[in-house]
């Protein structure tokens, strides 16, 4: 990781007292994204989702939509459905109806087989 940071392509920052990494800019992210095969792309998202479950274990409710998207991209429909549904319920409780609707549409699409957005 130190070698990658030295290149300047990835930046390290502290978020909530924890180290977080991001691409230096959108162009770098897009180039790397395009170079990764579709199957590897899915595996990487799934791996990130599993890692985030561990990192966010004590505050997972704050990251439901993020986890849902990682597992959606990682082709883990069961986990994606669960997180989208929980995110929808959470959004409903605070009257964020548009966000709840989007989350429930994604959850429904995973049951029905078509992807809504």
Judged against a pLDDT cut of 60, whether residue 114 lies above it is answered with no
- What would the DSSP string read from start to end of 71-90? HHHTT-HHHHHHHHHHHHHH
| Interval 34-83: pLDDT, tens | 878 888 889 989 999 999 999 899 999 999 999 999 999 999 999 999 99
Q: Can you tell me the distance from the alpha carbon of 106 to that of 66, in angstroms, rounded to the nearest whole number?
A: 13
Q: What is the pLDDT of residue 84?
A: 98
For the packed helices 64-73 and 77-93, what is the interaxial angle rounded to 10 degrees? 160
| Interval 14-28: pLDDT, tens | 877 777 778 888 888
């Amino acid at each position: 990781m130190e070698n990658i940071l030295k290149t300047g392509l990835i930046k390290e920052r502290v978020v909530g007292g924890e180290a977080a990494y991001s691409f230096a800019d959108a162009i770098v992210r897009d180039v790397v994204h395009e170079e990764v095969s579709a199957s590897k792309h899915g595996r990487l998202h799934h791996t990130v989702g599993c890692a985030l479950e561990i990192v966010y274990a004590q505050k997972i409710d704050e990251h439901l939509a993020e986890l849902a998207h990682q597992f959606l991209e990682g082709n883990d429909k069961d986990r994606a459905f669960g997180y989208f549904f929980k995110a929808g319920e959470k959004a409903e409780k605070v009257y964020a109806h548009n966000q709840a609707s989007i989350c429930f549409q994604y959850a429904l699409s995973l049951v029905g087989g078509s992807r809504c957005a």
